[in-house]
């Protein structure tokens, strides 16, 4: 689906990513983790084509990403950001309909009517009662659900998430990730997610890429990456790692340093 081959990126002569290599298979949930400033968001911008690498190549479906037109990319790739959507007077339904822009001609018309698709998505994400409300009255969790609905309306093959749960409480974090996973399984979408929370990353991702100062430090299953020695080396804190009693994936417990 996507192949990253020796990618590097610098801003103002300062290297931010060096020699990044990995591939993501179709239908996979692939997590990108690493400390603040390790280059996670920059990598995601390269994957969406918003920014171009200074070195190396990114291949999407066997073609260099820059060979896909902007419109083609918008049909294949949807991005969900950390920040909830800005509230500028649009209703929930308006925003979800915006996901169809890449499929419309310059008159805003689409070959097939997307109303049924929009209805189904709104229902699936539990937004039916909110659909005619404007965004400014919604909570952060509701806005993130609207943003996900807009991404789903785009019917992408690849969904890129950049810390989508940052401003959400634990209930909404799990709800959002469960919705992404249910949709991913139903539609076979590939998901690449930058996740701040290592426990969420371990629970939801098939494989993880750990970045350290712009370099791919490790890549593997959550069990290979979420280990006390690896976390200590990269994050500079010594956690306790235990097995999740139900899901078997590794989970970390933080230790305070002073006792």
Which residues lie near ligand ADP (CB under 6 A)? Answer: 11, 16, 34, 36-42
**Residue 251 binding partner per list ligand ADP, Mg ion, none, with a CB distance cut-off of 5 to 8 Å that depends on partner kind:** none
- Measured from the CB atom, the residue of 42 and 251 that comes closer to Mg ion is 42
Quote the CA–CA distance of 45 and 258 in Å, as a whole number. Answer: 39
Partner residues linked to 111 by β-bridges: none
Q: Which stretch binds Mg ion (CB under 5 A): 18-26, 40-48, 61-69, 175-183?
A: 40-48
- Measured from the CB atom, the residue of 41 and 184 that comes closer to Mg ion is 41
Q: How far is the CB of 40 from Mg ion (least distance, A)?
A: 5
Quote the CA–CA distance of 196 and 198 in Å, as a whole number. Answer: 6
CB 215 within 8 A of CB 18: yes
* Cβ within 8 Å of residue 249, ≥6 positions away: 202, 203, 222, 223, 226, 243
CB 122 within 8 A of CB 128: yes
CA 208, 8, 157, 135 dihedral sign is positive
Q: How far is the CB of 214 from ligand ADP (least distance, A)?
A: 7
Q: How far is the CB of 221 from Mg ion (least distance, A)?
A: 23
Q: Which stretch binds Mg ion (CB under 5 A): 16-24, 32-40, 107-115, 119-127?
A: 32-40
Give the residue, chosen from 8, 18, 41, 81, that forms a contact with Mg ion under the rule CB under 5 A. 41
CB 68 within 8 A of CB 59: no
Size of the site for Mg ion (CB under 5 A): 2
- Measured from the CB atom, the residue of 37 and 188 that comes closer to ligand ADP is 37
């Amino acid at each position: 689906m996507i192949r990253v081959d020796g990618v590097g990126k610098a801003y103002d002569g300062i290297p931010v990513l060096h020699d990044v290599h990995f591939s993501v298979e179709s239908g996979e949930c692939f997590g990108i983790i690493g400390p603040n400033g390790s280059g996670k968001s920059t990598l995601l911008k390269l994957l969406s084509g918003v920014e171009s690498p200074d070195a190396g190549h990114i291949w999407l479906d066997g073609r260099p990403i820059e060979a896909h037109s902007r419109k083609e990319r918008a049909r294949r790739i949807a991005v969900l950001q950390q920040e909830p959507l800005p509230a500028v007077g649009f209703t929930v339904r308006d925003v979800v309909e915006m996901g169809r822009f890449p499929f419309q001609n310059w008159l805003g018309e689409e070959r097939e009517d997307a109303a049924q698709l929009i209805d189904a998505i709104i229902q699936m994400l539990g937004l039916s009662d909110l659909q005619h409300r404007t965004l400014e009255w919604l909570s952060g969790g509701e806005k993130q659900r609207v943003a996900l609905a807009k991404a789903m309306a785009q019917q992408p093959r690849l969904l890129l998430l950049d810390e989508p749960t940052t401003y959400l409480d634990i209930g909404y974090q799990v709800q959002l990730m469960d919705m992404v996973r249910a949709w991913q399984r139903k539609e076979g979408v590939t998901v690449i997610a930058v996740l701040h929370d290592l426990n969420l990353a371990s629970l939801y991702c098939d494989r993880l890429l750990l970045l350290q100062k712009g370099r791919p430090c490790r890549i593997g299953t959550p069990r290979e990456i979420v280990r006390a020695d690896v976390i200590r080396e990269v994050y500079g804190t010594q956690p306790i790692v235990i097995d999740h009693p139900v899901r078997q994936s590794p989970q970390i417990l933080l230790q305070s340093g002073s006792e």
